[in-house]
Amino acid sequence: MNIFFGKISQKFDTVQLIEGYYSAPRGSSWFGELQIGDYVYMIGGDKIQFWQAREWGVKNGKDCMYFDILNADLGMKVSQLIALKFLYITKALAVLTSRSARNKAFFKLELIQNIPLIDLSNNQFYKNADLYRTIRVTKKEDVIEKSEDIQLIYENNRLQLVDNNFIESSIKKEFVDNLDKKGKGAIMKDNVLEYFSNAINDLPTTFTHNQIGLRRFYDTFFCEYKENDKYYIVGAFWKGHDPEDMSSTFIKESVWKNGFETELVDDVNKVPEGCHIAIKASYVRAKTTSVMMIKARGIVQKNLQDGHTLEIEWEEDFVPFEVPIGSYRKDTIKEVSNKAHIQSIWYENGQTPPENSERKDDDSSNDFNFPKNQILYGPPGTGKTFSSITKALSIIENTDESTLKEELRSVIKERFDKLLKKDRIHFSTFHQSMSYEDFIEGIKPKTKGTDVIYEIEDGIFKKIADQARVNWLQSKNSNNNFEQLFELLKKEWQENDSSELRISMKSSYFDIIDIREKNIDFRKSSGGTGHDLVISTLKDIYLGNRVMESGLAVYYYPLVEKLKTYKTDTSNVKLENYVLIIDEINRGNVSQIFGELITLIEEDKRLGKDEALEVILPYSKEKFGVPPNLYIIGTMNTADRSVEALDSALRRRFSFKEMTPKSDLLNKIIFDDFNLGQVLDKINKRIEALLDRDHTIGHSYFLQVKTTSQLNAVFKNCIIPLLQEYFYGDYEKIGWVLGESFFVKSTGSQNELFPSFFGQSKPDYAIQYHLADLDKIDIVYALKNLLGNKIPESKAAAVEIQ
């Protein structure tokens, strides 16, 4: 079976994509080696289709090849096609799937695994995350032998490609470690290098195709790093010409032309080959805001040096987007040197805001409009905690949650655990004993030697809020970077061999001997211990919020001068998101736990917003506000009786997403002639009729079931205990849910239970049935009875208890 990838650009006849043909002279280079009967991944129209070449023909008077469209949308992106493990990686696959190629539209692919045709043409097949290669950065001793993934060894400050048999030799020979070149001018490569710079500090690290596509990986490590990358904005409006807007013409002809006879000739001749170029259209919106539309982007292939013509490789299927930049409105050709403008215009995804671009708000790491505060609610077993992990990761990585769901759960959990260790994510569970002092701040006892002292200690929420605020301030290039400077002071003290740090004064000195959470312990030059400085006071003095003229001022001010000696660079600090997950949020006394902060978590009350609020905390007397890059995810079990007590103020400040049972996830788990999706549906419909939908049962209890013994255990240990709780031990109602096969009849006379009582008739309390011992019933037949299926009478009831 021969398989190809082909491309039909939207700038040409898009009807070809709908009707399944390709117009080009028969025998021309456009078809390459493609023959009748071959299969094609057809790229175009923002999707990938699966075609089979049927016959040669004529369409609109031109030669063409007709195809059968086997699947009009595989639901797959180009980045996924490149990463498929069963495809040999060639330069054409790595590069030409997303770049134009002259005089060729079809490129042969090499299969390195036998995949059935029925799978290749099935869009469900491509939803398997295991199909796609990842990029793994690791130590030499941790290399996985015969891995199907791309592996890089980091050793002696260098990256090295691990040899494999699935990448074309000519590509492997071009590998170059550009890691040390980060920040030297190649903006597009720097975005990828930033990922790898972080990865080498936390080995092993794995990148999926959603994080770093193989095309971006190729451009970064298999191509020259040009330190003098240049970027140009050009116009395409030719006044008086028909048409006046030449954008479409330039794109079709793969050129850009200067429309003036004598003007700008020297400027055009200076444009270097290999530089980046973008066509713009500028206008003023609402008479106040200058906006620039980016209509096309490309790379200069050749400068004809005639002052007019540049040959351009334009990006395929480019989607125009706007940037809030008006400074190039009147320019026909202009070099762009402003870094923020470069990132805004040439950032990989076009419409994705760059890390340091100018924005009206502080949510530059919230491209997917994540709610600041959200609660996942639903009955038990619907995957609320499970989903909170995926949601937290999508917020931290600023990615679409749906793309993460395609990845292996183990890979997601590994990245989540690393973020927990880095304190980017905090996980907490509310309970009846949780207090304001645990969540915000409180006075806690600590031992110092043989003494017990009481110190103000930050709670769960304040810790992560402070971390997020430091990052938020630094990303804004704020001069108020006290936290960063203090960390450098702390680092110098920790690295000092004597475990002390000497601070010079005008005519003396003092030694820092310990840095605790709230205080700095020091020893005077005259000796003696027991002296300390309060870190929050030091911060106020550093920021100019407080002036001291006596007392400990002689120690505070030299320490302020010491902080100022440290050199920090916050120009490249990226705004990062932080997430606090609160499991079982309804089980705590929310109004008591949050206190005055219930108002501060509102989106418009966050720091940096027009309605921003700060409060003075009751213990530390510090000012406190919630930064915009902190997100709160709560989970809430609707079957819990404490739901009704959920604070109404909390309800107003959170968005709620219902998590319902998804029985369709169980349809592939089949026993005899039924599946577990049918079982769950039937149980939940009966519970809704007898109780309500808040007490239904989730799908997660059944997801790992493969055998009848596992199925039996789920009912014995999970489902029946839940029903007993829901119906308060009312076995009749439980019976209406499960059916009689889960119960056994009692035998013998119940009158024997009672003694004689002055000749009175004994009470008629005959217990007719009990829940069966599930180890003694046939669970498959019991479930068939539950579903109402016809089964042999001998199997209809459980074994009787004697």
Q: How many residues does the chain have?
A: 802
What is the pLDDT, as a whole number, of residue 678? 93
What is the pLDDT, as a whole number, of residue 226? 72
User: What tokens does 742 get?
Assistant: 């889960």
Which percentage of the chain shows pLDDT scores above 90? 34
Domain 231-346 falls in which CATH fold? ph1033 like fold (3.10.590)
Say which CATH architecture domain 364-476+574-659 belongs to. Answer: 3-Layer(aba) Sandwich (3.40)
What is the pLDDT, as a whole number, of residue 211? 82
User: What tokens does 175 get?
Assistant: 């590998």
d(CA 280, CA 292): 6
How confident is the model over 80-84, as a mean pLDDT? Answer: 93
Find out whether 207 and 134 touch, Cβ atoms under 8 Å. Answer: yes
- Could you tell me the pLDDT band of residue 179, with boundaries at 50, 70 and 90? confident
pTM of the predicted model as reported, rounded to 2 decimal places? 0.51
Core vs surface per residue 14-48: b (16+ CB within 10 A) or e: eebbeebbbbbeeeeebbbebeeebbbbbbbbeeb
Q: Measuring CA to CA, which residue among 294, 412, 380, 304 is closest to residue 342? A: 294
Q: Packing angle between helix 535-543 and helix 482-495, nearest 10 degrees? A: 130
How confident is the model over 408-424, as a mean pLDDT? Answer: 87
Sequence-ordered list of residues with C-beta below 8 angstroms from that of 735, at least 6 positions apart, any chain: 742, 743, 769
d(CA 313, CA 317): 12
User: What tokens does 250 get?
Assistant: 């330039």
Amino acid at 531: H
CA angle 156, 158, 162 (to 5 degrees): 110
d(CA 655, CA 663): 25
List alpha helices for 620-719, DSSP H: 648-653, 676-690, 708-714
What is the pLDDT, as a whole number, of residue 797? 46
How confident is the model over 422-434, as a mean pLDDT? Answer: 91
d(CA 386, CA 635): 10
Residue 442: is its pLDDT beyond 80?
Answer: yes
How confident is the model over 196-214, as a mean pLDDT? Answer: 86
Which percentage of the chain shows pLDDT scores above 70? 87
What is the pLDDT, as a whole number, of residue 353? 31
Sequence-ordered list of residues with C-beta below 8 angstroms from that of 710, at least 6 positions apart, any chain: 704
User: What tokens does 5 get?
Assistant: 């990838």
d(CA 470, CA 7): 47
d(CA 792, CA 571): 76
Residue 477: is its pLDDT beyond 70?
Answer: no
d(CA 702, CA 674): 14
Residue 616: is its pLDDT beyond 80?
Answer: yes
What is the pLDDT, as a whole number, of residue 652? 76
Amino acid at 377: Y
Residue 499: is its pLDDT beyond 80?
Answer: no
DSSP letter (8 states) at residue 238:
-
- Could you tell me the pLDDT band of residue 759, with boundaries at 50, 70 and 90? confident
How confident is the model over 142-147, as a mean pLDDT? Answer: 91
Q: Tell me the sheet residues that pair with 66.
A: 21, 55
- Distance in angstroms between the alpha carbons of the first and the last residue of the chain: 66
Helix (H, G, I), strand (E, B) or coil at 794: helix
Q: Of 145-159, 263-277, 365-379, 547-561, which range is least confident?
A: 365-379
- Could you tell me the pLDDT band of residue 351, with boundaries at 50, 70 and 90? very low
Find out whether 377 and 651 touch, Cβ atoms under 8 Å. Answer: no
Residue 82: is its pLDDT beyond 90?
Answer: yes
Amino acid at 620: S
d(CA 136, CA 701): 33
**pLDDT, greater one: 118 or 528:** 118
What is the pLDDT, as a whole number, of residue 774? 85
What is the pLDDT, as a whole number, of residue 102? 65
Digit-coded pLDDT (tens) for 656-691: 888 899 999 899 999 988 999 999 999 999 999 998
Digit-coded pLDDT (tens) for 540-595: 888 766 777 778 888 999 998 888 887 665 555 678 899 999 999 888 888 889 88
CA 230 to chain centre: 31
Find out whether 164 and 127 touch, Cβ atoms under 8 Å. Answer: no
Residue 641: is its pLDDT beyond 60?
Answer: no
Residue 310: is its pLDDT beyond 70?
Answer: yes
Q: Of 366-380, 551-565, 746-760, which range is least confident?
A: 746-760
What is the pLDDT, as a whole number, of residue 347? 60
Find out whether 472 and 627 touch, Cβ atoms under 8 Å. Answer: yes
**pLDDT, greater one: 343 or 742:** 742
d(CA 34, CA 22): 12
Q: Measuring CA to CA, which residue among 771, 774, 789, 775 is closest to residue 678? A: 789
Show the 3-state SS of 465-506.
HHHHHHHHHHHCCCCCCHHHHHHHHHHHHHHCCCCCEEEECC
What is the pLDDT, as a whole number, of residue 802? 31
d(CA 43, CA 16): 12
Residue 167: is its pLDDT beyond 70?
Answer: yes
d(CA 246, CA 341): 24
- Could you tell me the pLDDT band of residue 366, with boundaries at 50, 70 and 90? low
Phi-psi map region of 158: left, alpha, beta (phi>0 left; psi -120 to 50 alpha): beta
**pLDDT, greater one: 646 or 777:** 777
* HSE value, Cβ hemisphere, 13 Å, CA-based, for 432: 3
Average pLDDT value over all residues in the chain: 83
**pLDDT, greater one: 365 or 698:** 698
Residue 244: is its pLDDT beyond 70?
Answer: yes
| DSSP H or E segment with residue 309 | strand 309-314
Long-range contacts of 559-565 (CB under 8 A, 24+ apart): 559/489, 559/503, 559/520, 559/533, 562/489, 562/503, 562/504, 563/482, 563/485, 563/486, 563/489, 564/485
What is the pLDDT, as a whole number, of residue 751? 63
Core vs surface per residue 718-730: b (16+ CB within 10 A) or e: bbbebbeebbeee
d(CA 587, CA 579): 20
How confident is the model over 436-463, as a mean pLDDT? Answer: 87
